[in-house]
Protein backbone atom coordinates (compact mmCIF):
# COMPACT_ATOMS: atom_id res chain seq x y z
CA UNK A 1 0.00 0.00 0.00
CA UNK A 2 1.24 3.48 -0.86
CA UNK A 3 1.35 5.36 2.45
CA UNK A 4 1.78 8.76 0.84
CA UNK A 5 5.14 9.36 2.54
CA UNK A 6 7.15 10.06 -0.62
CA UNK A 7 9.29 13.20 -0.17
CA UNK A 8 8.12 13.68 3.41
CA UNK A 9 10.96 14.69 5.73
CA UNK A 10 11.21 12.35 8.72
CA UNK A 11 13.48 13.09 11.69
CA UNK A 12 14.39 9.88 13.56
CA UNK A 13 16.24 10.24 16.85
CA UNK A 14 18.62 7.41 17.75
CA UNK A 15 18.42 6.22 14.14
CA UNK A 16 21.60 4.13 14.26
CA UNK A 17 20.27 1.68 16.86
CA UNK A 18 18.47 -1.61 16.31
CA UNK A 19 14.91 -0.30 15.98
CA UNK A 20 16.16 3.06 14.71
CA UNK A 21 17.89 1.53 11.70
CA UNK A 22 14.75 -0.47 10.85
CA UNK A 23 12.73 2.75 11.06
CA UNK A 24 15.19 4.49 8.74
CA UNK A 25 15.00 1.72 6.13
CA UNK A 26 11.20 1.55 6.30
CA UNK A 27 10.71 5.28 5.77
CA UNK A 28 13.32 5.34 3.01
CA UNK A 29 11.51 2.46 1.29
CA UNK A 30 8.40 4.66 1.24
CA UNK A 31 10.36 7.40 -0.51
CA UNK A 32 10.71 9.66 2.53
CA UNK A 33 13.76 11.83 3.10
CA UNK A 34 15.22 10.78 6.43
CA UNK A 35 17.20 12.74 9.01
CA UNK A 36 19.43 10.08 10.57
CA UNK A 37 20.31 11.26 14.06
CA UNK A 38 22.86 9.58 16.31
CA UNK A 39 24.00 10.69 19.73
CA UNK A 40 27.31 8.99 20.45
CA UNK A 41 30.63 8.87 18.62
CA UNK A 42 30.66 5.07 18.73
CA UNK A 43 27.48 5.06 16.62
CA UNK A 44 29.03 7.14 13.84
CA UNK A 45 30.21 4.24 11.68
CA UNK A 46 26.82 2.49 11.82
CA UNK A 47 25.00 5.74 11.07
CA UNK A 48 27.21 6.48 8.08
CA UNK A 49 26.74 2.96 6.74
CA UNK A 50 22.98 3.36 7.12
CA UNK A 51 23.05 6.66 5.22
CA UNK A 52 24.98 5.02 2.38
CA UNK A 53 22.58 2.09 2.30
CA UNK A 54 19.29 3.91 1.81
CA UNK A 55 18.57 5.16 -1.68
CA UNK A 56 16.59 8.32 -0.90
CA UNK A 57 17.93 11.70 0.19
CA UNK A 58 19.10 11.62 3.78
CA UNK A 59 20.91 13.83 6.23
CA UNK A 60 23.27 12.54 8.92
CA UNK A 61 23.35 14.57 12.14
CA UNK A 62 24.98 14.05 15.53
CA UNK A 63 23.85 15.81 18.67
CA UNK A 64 23.16 15.51 22.39
CA UNK A 65 19.38 15.82 22.38
CA UNK A 66 19.26 16.50 26.13
CA UNK A 67 20.83 19.90 25.35
CA UNK A 68 18.50 22.71 24.27
CA UNK A 69 21.24 24.32 22.21
CA UNK A 70 22.12 21.12 20.35
CA UNK A 71 18.48 20.26 19.70
CA UNK A 72 17.96 23.70 18.20
CA UNK A 73 21.13 23.28 16.15
CA UNK A 74 20.30 19.89 14.60
CA UNK A 75 16.70 20.84 13.83
CA UNK A 76 17.88 24.09 12.22
CA UNK A 77 20.41 22.14 10.14
CA UNK A 78 17.73 19.69 9.05
CA UNK A 79 15.31 22.41 7.97
CA UNK A 80 18.06 24.35 6.19
CA UNK A 81 19.16 21.28 4.23
CA UNK A 82 15.79 19.61 3.56
CA UNK A 83 13.41 22.56 3.77
CA UNK A 84 11.08 21.33 6.49
CA UNK A 85 10.36 18.46 8.91
CA UNK A 86 7.03 16.65 8.53
CA UNK A 87 7.37 13.72 10.95
CA UNK A 88 9.28 13.27 14.20
CA UNK A 89 9.99 9.81 15.61
CA UNK A 90 11.20 10.03 19.21
CA UNK A 91 13.14 6.77 19.26
CA UNK A 92 16.33 7.61 21.20
CA UNK A 93 16.66 5.95 24.59
CA UNK A 94 18.93 3.94 26.88
CA UNK A 95 18.53 1.29 29.57
CA UNK A 96 21.90 0.98 31.38
CA UNK A 97 20.64 0.11 34.86
CA UNK A 98 18.75 -3.12 34.24
CA UNK A 99 18.82 -5.60 37.09
CA UNK A 100 19.00 -2.97 39.84
CA UNK A 101 16.07 -2.74 42.22
CA UNK A 102 14.75 0.64 43.37
CA UNK A 103 16.49 0.24 46.74
CA UNK A 104 19.83 0.25 44.87
CA UNK A 105 19.13 3.36 42.78
CA UNK A 106 20.79 6.74 43.19
CA UNK A 107 19.39 10.16 42.26
CA UNK A 108 22.16 10.39 39.68
CA UNK A 109 20.82 7.31 37.88
CA UNK A 110 17.36 8.86 37.68
CA UNK A 111 18.78 12.15 36.45
CA UNK A 112 20.82 10.33 33.81
CA UNK A 113 17.84 8.48 32.32
CA UNK A 114 15.54 11.46 32.70
CA UNK A 115 17.87 13.41 30.43
CA UNK A 116 18.45 10.66 27.87
CA UNK A 117 15.01 8.99 27.80
CA UNK A 118 12.46 11.72 28.54
CA UNK A 119 14.01 15.18 28.27
CA UNK A 120 15.26 14.35 24.77
CA UNK A 121 11.69 13.60 23.66
CA UNK A 122 10.41 16.78 25.33
CA UNK A 123 12.99 19.06 23.71
CA UNK A 124 12.72 17.46 20.28
CA UNK A 125 8.92 17.57 20.30
CA UNK A 126 8.97 21.21 21.40
CA UNK A 127 11.36 22.15 18.60
CA UNK A 128 9.36 20.13 16.09
CA UNK A 129 6.11 21.91 17.06
CA UNK A 130 7.78 25.30 16.79
CA UNK A 131 8.93 24.42 13.29
CA UNK A 132 5.51 23.18 12.22
CA UNK A 133 3.96 26.44 13.38
CA UNK A 134 6.41 28.37 11.19
CA UNK A 135 5.80 26.01 8.26
CA UNK A 136 2.02 26.27 8.69
CA UNK A 137 1.81 22.63 7.71
CA UNK A 138 0.50 19.30 8.94
CA UNK A 139 2.71 17.00 10.95
CA UNK A 140 2.77 14.18 13.43
CA UNK A 141 5.01 12.66 16.04
CA UNK A 142 5.45 9.05 17.10
CA UNK A 143 6.91 8.25 20.52
CA UNK A 144 8.71 4.92 20.94
CA UNK A 145 7.89 3.78 24.45
CA UNK A 146 8.03 0.19 25.74
CA UNK A 147 5.86 -2.43 27.38
CA UNK A 148 8.01 -1.66 30.43
CA UNK A 149 6.13 1.64 30.47
CA UNK A 150 2.70 0.00 30.27
CA UNK A 151 3.32 -3.06 32.48
CA UNK A 152 6.24 -2.08 34.73
CA UNK A 153 9.35 -4.21 35.00
CA UNK A 154 11.16 -5.39 38.10
CA UNK A 155 14.79 -4.36 38.06
CA UNK A 156 14.13 -1.68 35.44
CA UNK A 157 12.04 0.90 37.27
CA UNK A 158 13.85 3.99 35.95
CA UNK A 159 13.45 2.98 32.34
CA UNK A 160 9.82 1.93 32.94
CA UNK A 161 8.96 5.21 34.65
CA UNK A 162 10.23 7.41 31.84
CA UNK A 163 8.74 5.21 29.13
CA UNK A 164 5.39 5.54 30.94
CA UNK A 165 5.89 9.30 31.10
CA UNK A 166 6.19 9.40 27.30
CA UNK A 167 2.61 8.12 27.07
CA UNK A 168 1.35 10.98 29.24
CA UNK A 169 3.46 13.42 27.23
CA UNK A 170 1.90 12.16 23.99
CA UNK A 171 -1.65 12.59 25.33
CA UNK A 172 -0.98 16.26 26.10
CA UNK A 173 0.98 16.92 22.91
CA UNK A 174 -1.78 15.56 20.68
CA UNK A 175 -4.10 18.22 22.12
CA UNK A 176 -1.60 21.08 22.24
CA UNK A 177 -0.35 20.48 18.71
CA UNK A 178 -3.80 20.94 17.21
CA UNK A 179 -4.40 24.12 19.21
CA UNK A 180 -1.05 25.71 18.33
CA UNK A 181 -0.89 25.03 14.59
CA UNK A 182 -2.62 26.76 11.70
CA UNK A 183 -6.42 26.12 11.84
CA UNK A 184 -6.31 24.17 8.57
CA UNK A 185 -3.31 22.09 9.62
CA UNK A 186 -3.65 18.58 10.99
CA UNK A 187 -1.51 17.29 13.84
CA UNK A 188 -1.39 13.79 15.30
CA UNK A 189 0.65 12.10 18.04
CA UNK A 190 0.79 8.40 18.93
CA UNK A 191 2.86 5.94 20.95
CA UNK A 192 4.33 2.60 19.90
CA UNK A 193 5.34 0.36 22.82
CA UNK A 194 7.46 -2.63 21.75
CA UNK A 195 7.99 -5.66 23.91
CA UNK A 196 11.02 -7.92 23.45
CA UNK A 197 12.18 -7.04 19.94
CA UNK A 198 14.90 -8.87 18.05
CA UNK A 199 17.71 -6.60 16.87
CA UNK A 200 21.45 -6.99 16.36
CA UNK A 201 22.25 -5.58 19.78
CA UNK A 202 24.55 -7.72 21.94
CA UNK A 203 22.07 -7.97 24.83
CA UNK A 204 19.39 -9.29 22.48
CA UNK A 205 21.70 -11.86 20.92
CA UNK A 206 22.72 -13.01 24.39
CA UNK A 207 19.04 -13.34 25.29
CA UNK A 208 18.39 -15.45 22.18
CA UNK A 209 21.05 -17.93 23.29
CA UNK A 210 19.24 -18.53 26.58
CA UNK A 211 16.61 -21.14 25.76
CA UNK A 212 15.04 -20.99 29.24
CA UNK A 213 14.68 -17.20 29.18
CA UNK A 214 13.23 -17.12 25.66
CA UNK A 215 10.74 -19.88 26.41
CA UNK A 216 9.70 -18.09 29.60
CA UNK A 217 9.05 -14.95 27.54
CA UNK A 218 7.08 -16.90 24.93
CA UNK A 219 4.85 -18.42 27.63
CA UNK A 220 3.27 -15.01 28.24
CA UNK A 221 2.41 -14.34 24.57
CA UNK A 222 -0.71 -15.39 22.69
CA UNK A 223 1.47 -15.58 19.58
CA UNK A 224 4.49 -17.62 20.72
CA UNK A 225 7.02 -15.45 18.93
CA UNK A 226 9.20 -12.36 19.35
CA UNK A 227 8.70 -9.14 17.42
CA UNK A 228 11.19 -8.00 14.80
CA UNK A 229 12.49 -4.45 14.55
CA UNK A 230 10.75 -4.37 11.16
CA UNK A 231 7.41 -5.08 12.86
CA UNK A 232 7.84 -1.93 14.92
CA UNK A 233 8.92 0.06 11.86
CA UNK A 234 5.89 -1.09 9.85
CA UNK A 235 3.54 0.21 12.53
CA UNK A 236 5.40 3.52 12.89
CA UNK A 237 5.31 4.22 9.14
CA UNK A 238 1.59 3.43 9.14
CA UNK A 239 0.96 5.89 11.99
CA UNK A 240 3.11 8.54 10.28
CA UNK A 241 0.91 8.36 7.18
CA UNK A 242 -1.87 10.91 6.95
CA UNK A 243 -3.31 8.77 4.18
CA UNK A 244 -3.51 5.55 6.20
CA UNK A 245 -3.94 6.85 9.76
CA UNK A 246 -5.61 10.25 9.28
CA UNK A 247 -7.95 9.90 12.28
CA UNK A 248 -5.66 8.01 14.65
CA UNK A 249 -4.17 10.14 17.43
CA UNK A 250 -3.46 9.87 21.14
CA UNK A 251 -3.24 6.08 21.03
CA UNK A 252 -0.71 3.61 22.45
CA UNK A 253 -0.02 0.53 20.34
CA UNK A 254 1.86 -2.43 21.80
CA UNK A 255 4.01 -4.62 19.57
CA UNK A 256 4.42 -7.65 21.82
CA UNK A 257 2.75 -10.72 20.25
CA UNK A 258 -0.15 -10.45 22.70
CA UNK A 259 1.92 -10.37 25.90
CA UNK A 260 -0.09 -10.96 29.04
CA UNK A 261 0.66 -11.47 32.73
CA UNK A 262 -0.80 -14.97 32.49
CA UNK A 263 1.15 -18.01 31.32
CA UNK A 264 -0.55 -18.99 28.09
CA UNK A 265 1.63 -21.96 27.15
CA UNK A 266 3.44 -24.80 28.88
CA UNK A 267 7.19 -24.65 28.36
CA UNK A 268 7.33 -28.03 26.61
CA UNK A 269 4.89 -26.71 23.98
CA UNK A 270 7.35 -23.99 22.94
CA UNK A 271 10.57 -25.81 22.16
CA UNK A 272 9.86 -25.85 18.42
CA UNK A 273 8.89 -22.19 18.53
CA UNK A 274 12.26 -21.41 20.10
CA UNK A 275 14.07 -23.34 17.37
CA UNK A 276 12.17 -21.42 14.69
CA UNK A 277 13.20 -18.10 16.22
CA UNK A 278 16.85 -19.12 16.34
CA UNK A 279 16.75 -20.40 12.78
CA UNK A 280 15.15 -17.16 11.59
CA UNK A 281 17.97 -15.19 13.21
CA UNK A 282 20.94 -17.42 12.49
CA UNK A 283 22.39 -14.64 10.31
CA UNK A 284 22.67 -12.42 13.39
CA UNK A 285 25.34 -14.67 14.80
CA UNK A 286 23.27 -16.11 17.66
CA UNK A 287 24.46 -19.71 17.99
CA UNK A 288 21.96 -22.41 18.88
CA UNK A 289 22.77 -23.43 22.43
CA UNK A 290 20.95 -26.44 23.78
CA UNK A 291 19.89 -26.66 27.39
CA UNK A 292 20.81 -24.01 29.92
CA UNK A 293 22.46 -20.86 28.63
CA UNK A 294 23.55 -17.51 29.94
CA UNK A 295 21.01 -15.62 31.96
CA UNK A 296 18.93 -13.46 29.58
CA UNK A 297 18.34 -9.78 30.23
CA UNK A 298 14.84 -8.60 30.99
CA UNK A 299 14.64 -5.45 28.86
CA UNK A 300 11.43 -5.16 26.87
CA UNK A 301 12.79 -2.70 24.33
CA UNK A 302 15.28 -4.66 22.27
CA UNK A 303 16.66 -1.32 21.13
Beta-strand ranges (E) seen in 20-137 are: 33-38, 58-62, 87-90
Residue 128 CB partners (closer than 8 Å, separation 6+): 11, 75, 85, 88, 139, 141
Sign of CA dihedral 248, 252, 257, 261: negative
Question: Can you tell me the distance from the alpha carbon of 209 to that of 212, in angstroms, rounded to the nearest whole number?
Answer: 9
**Which one, of 23, 98, 149, 47, lies nearest residue 295 by Cα?**
98
Q: Identify whether 114 is a catalytic site residue.
A: no
Question: Can you tell me the distance from the alpha carbon of 300 to that of 252, in angstroms, rounded to the nearest whole number?
Answer: 16
Q: How many helices (H) and strands (E) does the chain have?
A: 11, 9
Neighbours of 203 (CB within 10 A): 18
**Which one, of 261, 201, 197, lies nearest residue 227 by Cα?**
197
DSSP state of 172: H
Angstrom CA distances, 96 to 19, 115, 157, 174, 215, stand at: 17, 13, 11, 30, 24
Question: Can you tell me the distance from the alpha carbon of 37 to that of 208, in angstroms, rounded to the nearest whole number?
Answer: 28
Which position among 38, 97, 114, 159 bears the catalytic label? Answer: 159
List the catalytic residues: 159
Amino acid sequence: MDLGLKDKVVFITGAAGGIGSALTRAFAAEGARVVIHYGFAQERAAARQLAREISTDSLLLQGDLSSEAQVRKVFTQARKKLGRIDVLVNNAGRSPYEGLFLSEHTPEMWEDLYRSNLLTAVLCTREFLRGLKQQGSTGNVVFISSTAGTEGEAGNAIYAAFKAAMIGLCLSVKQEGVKQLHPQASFRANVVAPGWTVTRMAAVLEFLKNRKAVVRALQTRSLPDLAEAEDVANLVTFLASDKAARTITGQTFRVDCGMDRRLQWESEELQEAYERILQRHSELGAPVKRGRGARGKSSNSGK
